[in-house]
Each structure stands twice: as structure tokens, then as C-alpha cells.
A and B are shown apart, each in its own frame.
Chain A
Amino acid sequence: MDDIDRSLLSLLEEDCTIPLHNLAVMLGCNEEEVAGRKKQLEEDGIIRRYSAVINWEQVDKGAVYAIIELKVAPERDHGYDRIASRISRFANVRSLRLRTGTHDLQLLVTGKSMQEIARFVSEHIAPMERIRETATHIIMKTYKENGVLYVEREDGQRLPFSF
């Protein structure tokens, strides 16, 4: 992992559709080298996948997102890992983290309606052994996601010419 790899990762994180030629020119190496580095980063699991950042709130007016916080009794030898692995298999769990603070696990969950999320929590999550407490927070509006602003903001204006 050198400076070129790091630069390549930042470029791809920002826009993974940049043509190989442009990546090579910007990084100052040839296309084969960039392709090789990219492949290596993929194989090492550093690049997990290529995807788009989509403002679903704009597409799917009724979709609901919720943050669910869980207090969990950890298991001997496994800590939080086994229950986390079990929860992470639900397709509607978009992200899952172990964190410090009042709760242990934090999930981002999607659903078609509030009822669907309520059912998921009460039927699938809360009944699990070792879950001691749940707290569900419905997301009202997203302002920024993955470093991308979701709210329109007027850019500052520059003079067309300045010295």
C-alpha cells in the first residue's frame, strides 16, 4: 500500500466510473499498472464493491429508514460477533456497527413502511436471545450520505477572469 494506491482508492471512492486512461494520467503511471493495482486491491478485499450513492428519498417517497440501537449481552468466547453476524444476514439491514455508548449494536434498516420496520423489530430482532433492549429511531431527512450532500446548495460564484 503506497501513495499511488491511496490516491487510487480516493479517486475510486469518489467516482468509480473514471476511465482507466484518466486514472493512469492523473496518477502518473501506465494503464496496465493501474489495472493491476486495482485488481490487487479488489482481491485483497480493500475495495469491497462498486456502487452508486442514490437518494432513495427522492425516488421512493414512502420508503422508511430507521436506526435501531440494541443492548446485547455478549457471549463467552464470541463477544458480539455471532449475534452481529446473524443480524447482518437480513437484507433490509443496510449497515451494522458495534459502538461505544448507551447501546452496543447500531443498525440502519430500510422498509416500505413504518409498520414493516416495527414488525421487523418486534418479530425478528427483539425476540433474539441476548438482546436486552431495543431503541428504534425513524429517520426524517438525510442531509449528507457517504460524504455526498443531499440538499441543494448554491455554489459560490467566481469572476470569469481574475489574475
Chain B
Amino acid sequence: MLSVKTDNDCHSHSDQKKRDFVSERAKIIPPSGIRRFFDLASQMENVISLGVGEPDYSTPWHICDAAITSIEQGHTAYTSNAGMESLRCELSRFLQDHYQVEYNPVNEMIITTGVSEGLDIVIRAIVNPGDEVLVVDPSYVSYSPCVTMAGGIPVPLPCTEKDRFRLTPDVLMEHITPQSKVLVLNFPNNPTGGVMRREDLEGIADVAIDHDLLILSDEVYAELTYEGKHTATASIEGLWERTVTLSGFSKAFAMTGWRLGYVCAPPEITAATLKIHQYVMLSSPTMSQYAALEALKHGEDAMREMIREYHLRRNLFVDGLNRIGLTCHTPEGAFYAFPSVKGTGLTDYEFAERLITEAGVAVVPGSVFGSGGVGHIRCSYAVSRQELSEAIRRMDEFIRSLP
């Protein structure tokens, strides 16, 4: 007979003496600042969520179909640690065609389980305890905790609205110490939508070379660049040999749930990272790799179509925000608008909390992304145009209700 543990069984052990099993390393990671917003959102009906960090599109069907076919054909075993060779070759071609960066599929690429895994294992492969890692601020929430877990010290680099949320050489220089080793860039930026143009990166390059820094460049939003073309950090003269390019399939191909990304780096860094990858992940999901191969080979039309739509939505939404008095710089990439709420007299947390409870619109307070985000809110426009218009209407009503 199957025995089922009841609450009583569990409680009967509660008197026993027990150590605190949680590691110090885990304890120093701050809890997510947004937990209570999840709870608020789940209690309410008819919420328009602009809090999402992923496309509203389903993965294009031909990509899903390729994965289904791979399963039907029985391709359900591990792949090589670095990922399928055919996928790495196709990816190499894609990066060359789109961004004029050359990576050898044999020893300069690893297919990872999302950029998230890539970020973690690269940081572990390059950071020694006590190394300072300069991180653009505001930025995606994972960089600093990953650095901390690897024993490094994250150092925020403020990117302000007056610089259109770009990193300037001056700000970088001000924060460099003898312990500085790594610079984390994330452009197009989440949450600001800021981008670094070629000339901006060239300014940074001189500083990085002078101070012998390694650049970790998370370019997962590269394809979602609306004015001109994305410039890859590794394509700047003198930077290839000191850059690790991180990216993935999630945003451009609407493949977040497939968990597939990649790390491209000079051979010695790739080799060190691959050792960690092989022990923590072995290989990335095989069916996802087949999907990604299809995406690279035949997914560009669908990708362009989605990007075109994000571009239209951006114009519509940013116009709406500015019209209702939430001043917003024009984000040139990703799918986020990052308006200031300072004029309302509320903090970003207060604004976001009241906006969801009083107006049914969910946004993320900017300070979640670092102190550089204080006084702003992140609004994702990866939602339908109808919902964006309705969100603007509700936000307008909410702002008018404030004293």
C-alpha cells in the first residue's frame, strides 16, 4: 500500500534539533523585490500586465514543428557538451551575417540553457574572489547576484537618462579600481531600452583596453534594435579578444520557454566555461536545439515581422506615455519603455503598487533594476496594441486622480 505523509507526520519531527542548512552565500542574495506584486496581480481580475519580460507571441509554428519532428525521429539523447555542431555552425553564420563577428563553432561557442545559465557559468569561469565586476545600472536583475555567488564584488555603473541610458567613458573611468576585472554590458538594455551605438562602444573600448578589462556583453535584445543596426561589442576593433558575447533565442524568436542561449568567447575562456557547463548542465535540451536550428535557418522572416510590430507598438506607446505626462526617452531597442514617475510625487514602488491596485495595470518599479532605476517604471510593450491603448487610458485616469 502506498503510504502518504500527512501534516502530522511532518510536524512530529519539528521538535528535533536542526542546524540552519541554508548557506551564507544563498543568504546574502536579496529576495526578489517584486514578490508582493505577484500576489497583488493574482488577486485582481482584468489586469493588463506590462510587467512581462518576454514576447507575447507564441514561437513561430515552423520552429515548434521542427522540435516535434526531432522528437518523433527519436532525437531525445544528450548532444555534445557544447551543443549540436550543426547548430553552432549555423549560429556562427548568423553572427557573421548580422553583426560581422567571427566565432569558430569548434572552440569558441557553447550552446547554453538560456542566457541565464551562460551568464552564471561564464562569471564562475572568470571571477576570482575579491574581483570587482562593473555592472551597468540599471540592468537586468541577474548580473549582480551571479557575481556575488562567484565571490566577486558587483560595482554599479550608473547610466542616466541625460546620457540616454548609455554608459559613458567618464562614468566607467570613475569606478575603476586596481581590483576591477570585468565589465558587464547589457545593450539594448533591459529595462531602459537604451542602446550603445558604434561610437559609444569605441569610447568604452579605449578604457577597457587601457585597464585590461574583460567585457561580458549580454546582447539578447540585439535583433530588437529599431534605429539603425545593432553593433556587437566584439565587432569593435581591439575588443574581440577581451569580449564574451552572451545571447539567446528567447527574445528575437519568441522562444523564452525553450531555454536556449549561447556563449561566444576566445578559446581559453570558452574552454574554462565549457568545463563548468559540462558538470552543471551536461548539454542543453536537445529538442530546443533542433528548434533553434530551424529558427536560424528559416526564422528570419517571422522574426522581422515581430520586430516590425514591436517598433510600431513602441511608437504608439511612447507617444501615449508622453501625452499623459509620463516623460519617456525614446527607447531604441528591446521592448521596454522606462518613463519617469518623479513628476507624480510618488516613488516608483508607490506608483507601481497604486497603479496595479487602483487602475489594474501592472508595471515593474525601476529600482528593482538597481539604484539607477529609481523614480522610473519599466513598462513592457510586448503586449497587443489594444492592450497598450487601454493601459495608457487607465494610466491617464490614475495620474489625473492624484492630487
Interface residues of A (CB under 8 A from B): 7, 10-11, 22, 25-28, 155-156, 158-163
**B362 touches A (CB below 8 Å):** yes
Within 8 Å CB of B52, what residues of A? 158-162
- The one of A11, A22, A162 in contact with B53, judged by C-beta atoms closer than 8 angstroms, is A162
How far, in Å, is A93 (CB) from chain B's closest CB? 32
Nearest residue in B to A161 (C-beta to C-beta)? B51
Q: Is the CB of B315 within 8 A of A26?
A: yes
Within 8 Å CB of A11, what residues of B? 312
Q: Is the CB of A25 within 8 A of B316?
A: yes
- A160-B51, A163-B53, A163-B140 given; A7·B41 CB < 8 A: no
* Cα distance, A160 to B108, chains bound together (Å): 37
* CB<8 Å pairs between A and B, sample of 13: A26-B315, A27-B312, A27-B315, A155-B58, A158-B49, A158-B52, A158-B54, A159-B52, A160-B37, A160-B49, A161-B41, A162-B51, A162-B53
Q: Is the CB of B316 within 8 A of A160?
A: no
The residue among B47, B53, B389 with the most chain A CB atoms within 10 A of its own CB is B53
How far, in Å, is B192 (CB) from chain A's closest CB? 13
How far, in Å, is B55 (CB) from chain A's closest CB? 9
* Cα distance, A30 to B142, chains bound together (Å): 41
The residue among A7, A28, A159, A160 with the most chain B CB atoms within 10 A of its own CB is A160
How far, in Å, is A146 (CB) from chain B's closest CB? 17
Q: Is the CB of B34 within 8 A of A161?
A: yes
Size band of the interface chain B makes with A: 20 to 34
Task: Encode contact with A along B10-52: 1 for CB under 8 Å, 0 otherwise.
Answer: 0000000000000000000000001001100110000101011
How far, in Å, is A22 (CB) from chain B's closest CB? 6
- A7-B308, A156-B58, A158-B56 given; A163·B315 CB < 8 A: no
Within 8 Å CB of A163, what residues of B? 53, 140-142, 190, 364, 368
- A160-B38, A161-B49 given; A26·B54 CB < 8 A: no
Within 8 Å CB of B53, what residues of A? 161-163
Within 8 Å CB of A26, what residues of B? 312-313, 315-316
**B319 touches A (CB below 8 Å):** yes
The residue among A11, A156, A158 with the most chain B CB atoms within 10 A of its own CB is A158
Within 8 Å CB of B364, what residues of A? 161, 163
Within 8 Å CB of A10, what residues of B? 308
Within 8 Å CB of A158, what residues of B? 49, 52, 54, 56
Within 8 Å CB of B190, what residues of A? 163
Task: Encode contact with A along B123-143: 1 for CB under 8 Å, 0 otherwise.
Answer: 000000000000000001110
Within 8 Å CB of A162, what residues of B? 51-54
Q: Is the CB of A7 within 8 A of B34?
A: no
How far, in Å, is A77 (CB) from chain B's closest CB? 40
Task: Encode contact with A along B350-386: 1 for CB under 8 Å, 0 otherwise.
Answer: 0000000000001010001000000000000000010
- The one of B47, B56, B141, B142 in contact with A160, judged by C-beta atoms closer than 8 angstroms, is B47
How far, in Å, is B97 (CB) from chain A's closest CB? 21
* Cα distance, A36 to B142, chains bound together (Å): 48
The 7 closest A-B pairs by CB, nearest first: A161-B51, A160-B41, A26-B312, A162-B53, A160-B49, A25-B319, A163-B141
